[in-house]
């Protein structure tokens, strides 16, 4: 997969997004409702591939996505090395009965305890987190009570 990075204060940062396809793309083996990953080209389009054509022009293969499902990569991975995205549902190894949703708050990615106004800074707990779902595919988990 192509990675788009930019330099910010001497640090290379990856800007990757995911969203659910709204159409079938047989040549890309993408079906409606599949998650697609890449650059955010527009609020409802993700570039899944970039390439240089025979004339030296840069081209993108875009997939139309439901803008309500677009989630940004936090640049963090859980304890199983799975990428963590905004909107993911995660469990913390010290609090296994609690479920947190990854949100952008206070100028950073935070873990919001479901059913509460409590937040944790996402980056502080990266090695203790496990992705267990997301707010789009696992709506039933959003109603769970935390113990």
Return the pLDDT at 13: 56
Return the pLDDT at 87: 96
Do 98 and 76 fall within a single domain?
yes
Query: SS3 for the chain, per residue?
Result: CCCCEEEECCEEEECCEEEEECCCEHHHCECCCCEEEEEEEECCEEEEEEEECCCCCEEEEEEEECHHHCEEEEEEECCCCCEEECCEEEEECCEEEEEEEEEEECCEEEEEECCCCCEEEHHHHHHHEEEEEECCCCHHHHHCCCC
Single out the residue in 47, 68, 89 at which a domain terminates.
Answer: 68
Do 87 and 130 fall within a single domain?
yes
Low-confidence ranges of the chain (pLDDT < 50): 1-8, 145-147
Single out the residue in 68, 86, 119 at which a domain terminates.
Answer: 68
Total structural domains in the chain? 2
Single out the residue in 45, 68, 91 at which a domain terminates.
Answer: 68
Return the pLDDT at 122: 82
* Residue 44 burial (C-beta neighbours within 10 Å; 0-12, 13-18, 19+): middle
Q: Each residue of 59-91: pLDDT tens digit?
A: 889 999 999 999 999 999 999 999 999 999 999
Return the pLDDT at 64: 96
Which residues, other chains included, contact 74 with Cβ-Cβ below 8 Å and sequence gap of 6+?
83, 84, 85, 86, 102, 109, 122, 123
Return the pLDDT at 14: 64
Return the pLDDT at 125: 83
Return the pLDDT at 68: 96
Do 56 and 83 fall within a single domain?
no
Do 132 and 77 fall within a single domain?
yes
Handedness of CA 140, 22, 27, 59 (dihedral sign): negative
Domain range spanning residue 64?
5-68
Do 36 and 100 fall within a single domain?
no
**Nearest to 90, CA basis, from 104, 67, 106, 110:** 110
pTM comes to 0.82
Return the pLDDT at 144: 59
């Amino acid at each position: 997969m192509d990675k788009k990075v930019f330099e910010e204060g001497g640090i290379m940062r990856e800007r990757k997004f995911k969203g659910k396809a709204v159409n079938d793309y047989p040549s890309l083996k993408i079906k409606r409702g599949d998650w697609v990953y890449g650059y955010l080209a527009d609020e409802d389009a993700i570039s899944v591939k970039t390439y240089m054509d025979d004339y030296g022009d840069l081209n993108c293969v875009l997939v139309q996505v439901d803008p309500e499902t677009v989630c940004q990569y936090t640049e963090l991975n859980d304890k199983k090395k799975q990428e963590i995205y905004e909107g993911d549902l995660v469990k913390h190894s010290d609090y296994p009965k609690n479920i947190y949703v990854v949100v952008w708050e206070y100028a950073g990615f935070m873990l919001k305890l479901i059913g509460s106004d409590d937040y944790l800074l996402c980056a502080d707990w990266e090695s203790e987190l496990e992705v267990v779902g997301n707010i789009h595919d696992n709506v039933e988990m959003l109603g769970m009570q935390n113990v």
